[in-house]
Amino acid sequence: MDIQKLQRAVIDALEDVKAQDIKVFNTTHLTSLFDRVVIASATSNRQTRALASSVADSGRALDLSGITIEGEDTGEWVVVDLGDVVVHIMQPAIRQYYNLEEIWGGKPVRVKLLPESTRAAPVPSDSAYDDADN
């Protein structure tokens, strides 16, 4: 699976359910287990679960196997493992406390995100995005 395509699918899935403060980090220099870490915030337990479900569904649509989801029981911090991409969906207080950006944030990946005001709008075609890889 092309990492750019998977990364874009994850971002689109998060934006579809109005995730906040989405950050993408290149982790190839830190670990061989995965290539990207995506961190996003949600405003409630229900939204963290919905975001995780959206990301997992997006992975299944790309025929990924072995997708795992952890943390749905509490909904404060849900992790979706898509193999090459690991997605952390957290409520703001949990995100601030654990500060994963400090651990994984050495190489942020520049991606174009939809403006907050249009997150619920249909997602444009892939050509409208700049998926520059660092």
What CATH number has the domain bearing residue 99? 3.30.460.10
Asked, for residue 117, whether it belongs to a domain, the answer is no
- The answer to whether residue 118 is domain-embedded is no
> Which of the listed ranges 47-51, 103-107, 118-122, 129-133 does the model predict with the highest average pLDDT?
47-51
Cβ–Cβ under 8 Å, residues 62 and 5: yes
pLDDT value at position 117?
45
Structure tokens at 15: 């934006």
Print the domain residue range for 43. Answer: 3-110
- Nearest Cα to Cα of residue 82 among 26, 29, 36: 36
Percent of the chain with pLDDT strictly greater than 70:
81
How many structural domains does the chain have? Answer: 1
Alpha-carbon dihedral 75, 97, 112, 35, rounded to 10 degrees: -80
Q: Which pLDDT score is estimated for 85?
A: 94
| 134 within domain boundaries | no
